Amino acid sequence: MKKLTFLFALLSVLLSACHQKETEIEELVYHYDFQDFELWTLIDKHSTMPADLFPDVDSEILRRMMPSGEAESSINAFLIHKNDKYVLFDAGLGRESGGLMLGELTGLQIAPEDIDMICLTHCHRDHIGGLMDHDTAVFPKAELWVSVPELEAFKEDEMVRKIQAAYGPRIHTFMFGDTIAGFVETFDAAGHTPGHTVYKVDELYIIGDLIHAWGLQIHYPECCAIYDKDPEQAVKTRKYFYKILENPDVYAAGMHLPGSGMMQAFGIQY
């Protein structure tokens, strides 16, 4: 707690020295101007994570860290504009399931055909549902990227099969450590799913589902939600990236982080 208090005290200094949040549109879209790229948080849906999603966590910890019985959360996608390319990281739920991302893109005057690349952190429905409108590809020109182990793990999934049929040769795979389009680095973040991926663009890490309940897991990385397929590996992965994200010069964008979905110096939300 002292560390977090100190970090919050440094917020104004860090933001003035680094990057500024520029706009907030209806509390659903946040815009950030980095040195070499632009970033938008697209909040697909506000949500919460109930305590019963953490059945193996000590009940006293849950009472202390989630006193209301739930943690504020969100379903986010992130859009980057760099090197004249629009790169989308995950695609949210989709309109059929109440996802708002497409409407937010429209508000930014960005059409689905403007999206050049989509990088998937993993293949759970709240991350890939927005790729499809029934049986039709929502993004008619985008090249779709997913890790080799993730596509293999989800090859029998009904939604993944629909996506493969709709996007066809525009689906590409990578091995961890590969760089996409010359500027999107890929990192092994397995545990949540077999091919769960953390991406890095310059000083920004897109951390996918590394964190489900920020208020709990920021203090207790050993706590896993039931969504983590391999809890032991998920904990190792979380702790590994927590060390990286302590660096005040890097930023984290999380698909279930509340508010703007962004953290700096691993603890400051803005």
CATH of domain 2-269: 3.60.15.10
Say if pTM beats, i.e. exceeds, 0.85: yes
DSSP string for 210-224: S-S-HHHHTT-TT--
Show me where the domains of the chain are located.
2-269
Average pLDDT, the chain: 89
Listed in order, strand segments (DSSP E) in the chain are 20-25, 29-33, 38-50, 70-82, 85-89, 117-119, 132-133, 136-137, 143-147, 171-174, 179-180, 184-188, 197-201, 204-208, 251-254, 262-264, 268-269
Residue 78 has which token pair?
Answer: 């992130």
Q: What is the pLDDT of residue 26?
A: 52
Work out the number of other CB atoms within 10 angstroms of the CB of residue 164. 14
Q: For 15-57, what is each residue's pLDDT tens digit?
A: 323 443 444 445 689 999 999 999 999 999 999 999 999 999 9
For the chain, helix (H) and strand (E) counts, in that order, are 9, 17
Residues β-bridged to residue 38: 33, 81
Q: For 163-217, what is each residue's pLDDT tens digit?
A: 999 999 999 999 999 999 999 999 999 999 999 999 999 999 999 999 999 999 9
Q: What is the pLDDT of residue 27?
A: 67
